[in-house]
Amino acid sequence: MPLPPPRLGVAVVTMGNRPREVAALLASVAAQDVPPDRVVIVGNGSPLPEFFGLPGELTVIELADNLGCPGGRNVALRRLRAFGDVDVVIELDDDGLLVDKGVFRGVRDLFASDPHLGIVGFRIADEHGETQRRHVPRLRAQDPMRRGLVTTFLGGGHAFAMRMLEQTGDWPEDFFFTHEETDLAWRALDAGWKILYEPTLLLQHPKTSPARHAVYFRMTARNRVWLARRRLPLPLIPPYLTTWTLLTLSRTSSLGGLRAWAAGCAEGVRTPCGERRPMRWRTVWRMARLGRPPVV
């Protein structure tokens, strides 16, 4: 039997440096044929202008400090949870755009049809309809339109069941930037929830490189080590980190980038990573059956 239609909330985190993009995104939220019940926008260490014309309840939160992407999103989640009237939260990058008016209806119907669905990942494509390989959450990434259950999701556009977050916990704030999606996804899978990649749910997003951020190489390495220490059974930590070391060495041509990456690895080893709660071996097997065992 289908579940009752879930009540939808929207969370957007911005550093205040994309006012036109945020205004366009919020306008596309307002244009959805299924309006959200709540919209929360967080200024991550930045003041925000006033926004008008949105459906539902709009809440603007201005933080004195930049808490990073996961920290800012957790602020929005806590506010949505405090309202007590949101069942599914949709999180969107501040430079994204919903070009289809039926995205929220699609999200609502997916969660209403499956009580075990925890996360729905959107397809990310640029204004020409092209999806970058790194935005397809599976190893065989040639066809971005292939729908199915996966082991991770895209941080730029996705939806969470609030019931799942009550069980798994929210974003890992200490990560600040990169790999926070994988940490949350592995916790969700270990708790028995499904992660669905649904390419018909499109978030238009400019084509970018994650290396554009000055902290990319260091935090990518540090957080990868933290992720392994937090979530993997001990026998899988060496092959996981070895695989990603070889991939990084083969893909990175910048000597400065490699130096920052090496410093991040050392930081990941010597600094606290948070509570260690390794996934169960049955979750490892489940991920392998889904096509992506947690060694790559």
pLDDT in tens, 94-129: 999 999 999 999 999 999 999 999 999 999 999 999
Q: Which of 8-22, 199-213, 236-250 has the lowest mean pLDDT?
A: 199-213
Q: What type of residue is 246?
A: L
Closest CA to 236 of 296, 175, 291: 296
Element (H, E) at 43: strand 38-43
Mean residue pLDDT of the chain comes to: 94
Per-residue confidence (pLDDT) for residue 1, from 0 to 100: 64
Q: pTM for this one? A: 0.95
Distance of CA 82 to the CA centre of its chain: 21
Task: Answer left, alpha or beta for residue 176, where phi above 0 means left and psi between -120 and 50 means alpha.
Answer: left
**Edge-to-edge strands, sheet with 8-14:** 57-62, 38-43, 8-14, 88-93, 157-161, 117-125, 194-204, 148-149
| Residue-wise pLDDT tens digits, 194-230 | 999 999 999 999 987 665 555 899 999 999 999 999 9
SS3 203: strand
Helices (H) and strands (E) in the chain, counts: 9, 8
- Give the domains, in start order, of the chain with CATH numbers: 8-208 (3.90.550.10), 211-278 (no CATH)
Closest CA to 90 of 109, 100, 69, 104: 104
Contact yes or no for 195/168 (Cβ under 8 A): no
SS3 257: helix
